Amino acid sequence: MSDAPQERSGSERGERGGPLSGRLVVDLSRALAGPHAGMMLGDLGARVIKVETPGTGDDTRGWGPPFVGPEDDRQATYFLSCNRNKESIALDLKSDDGRAVLTELLRRADVVVENFRPGVLDRLGFSTDAMHELNPGLVILSITGFGHDGPESRRSGYDQIVQGEAGLMSVTGPDPDNPQRVGVPIADLLSGMYGAYGAVAALLERERTGRGQVVRTSLLAAIIGVHAFQGTRTTVAGEVPRAQGNHHPSIAPYGLFNCRGGKVQISVGSEKLWATFTAAFGLDAGRAEFATNADRVRNRDELIGVVEDAFSAYEAEPLLAKLNDAGIPAGKVRTLDEVYAWEQVHSQGLLLTVQHPVLGDIALPGPPLRFFDGDAETTLTGHTAPPLLDGDGDAIRAWLSGSVPGGTGA
């Protein structure tokens, strides 16, 4: 592969189709929360220009192993996970040149994404007021760890720390004495998702008002935003939820059960399903301790024993077939390699092949949204690989100078 930056085609610079086609996003963020938001907007068709630190780039370019590629140009798979459909330009925002280029990008942008600690952009000369003076229609998406104000606003926000502080780890794990983090950086990912959805809402409101606005979220807010029934269990019922492993705290039987030589998951979420389940496995549907869902939850340990005794006659695959035939929601626990080999995953467009300038063709997890106009699918298909550091810098500067066409903005 050539070491020279590869200029992307016009279709790759924001003319790929999709609901946000023609919109320009300037991604000033690094690590995961902001980059995930920017990638989501790129998946919707926006042109996303990622501004990175010269020399080192986004922090995640160095997060590994695993690294892949030639020994003299190793690529972090972490970076590859959250930066598809973007271009990269390296700018020193403490230099006159870097600030001048960013100023021109902001004049043209529809959305800017940033996850600096509060006050950092102000010191660089790009406060909210300054950005809106440059571009009154600019939507500013700002993501922090613990919120932009309040007594702990200046704390650094890292995913696992926030998973603990926001209570998620206290309800995750085998028991209350062994709190566990979720197996992906869920606080980062959720704050990116909330941020992208807020940015799209602000773009929609701009159609009415003609003005951009600031959208703020945080890792803390994102985790609390998905407390769901565990939140109201605390705030309304006055109970403090605790980790209890792979069984649902409010529905039974619902969870992971042993069978002969394996495990399966089931969800018996209604009394009708309970009657069907007991009939299928010859269980006594009239036992008083299991008469209602509330009874089954109260007597969960005994219920687990009864269910696993019935399942002990079956290996996993025949058991799953029997459950499916009976209409009981059930499934296996797949490893990720099994997930990406699964035909259902492929049918939903959840695995992409893109051409990377160093790695060649690589497979990436795909975007979770699909779009249809009547029976015709209009989902964006022209995805591009995560960029090399400053791989699009010359082309972006040429576009800003007016020497080449490309891009649109507010």
Q: Does the CA dihedral 287-293-298-301 come out positive or negative?
A: positive
CA dist 20 and 42 (Å) reads 8
Q: Are 308 and 257 in contact (CB under 8 A)?
A: yes
Q: Are 114 and 140 in contact (CB under 8 A)?
A: yes
Q: Which residue has the tokens 């952009």?
A: 121
Q: Does the CA dihedral 21-23-26-31 come out positive or negative?
A: negative
CA dist 327 and 322 (Å) reads 9
Active site residue 188: yes
Q: Does the CA dihedral 336-342-346-348 come out positive or negative?
A: negative
Q: Which residue has the tokens 């003299």?
A: 72
Q: Are 247 and 175 in contact (CB under 8 A)?
A: no
Structure token pair of residue 381: 């298909």
Structure token pair of residue 285: 């549907």
> Could you tell me which residues come within 8 angstroms of residue 317 by beta carbon, excluding any fewer than 6 positions away?
none
Structure token pair of residue 16: 């790929």
H helices present in 115-185, as ranges = 120-123, 128-134, 159-165
Q: Which residue has the tokens 């939140």?
A: 231
* Distance, CA of 133 to chain centre: 32
CA dist 98 and 102 (Å) reads 6
Residue 356's DSSP bridge partners are 360
CA dist 116 and 156 (Å) reads 10
Q: Which of 58, 110, 159, 188 is catalytic?
A: 188
Instruction: State residue 48 phi and psi, 5-degree precision.
Output: -115, 120
Q: Are 90 and 389 in contact (CB under 8 A)?
A: yes
Residues assigned a catalytic role:
188
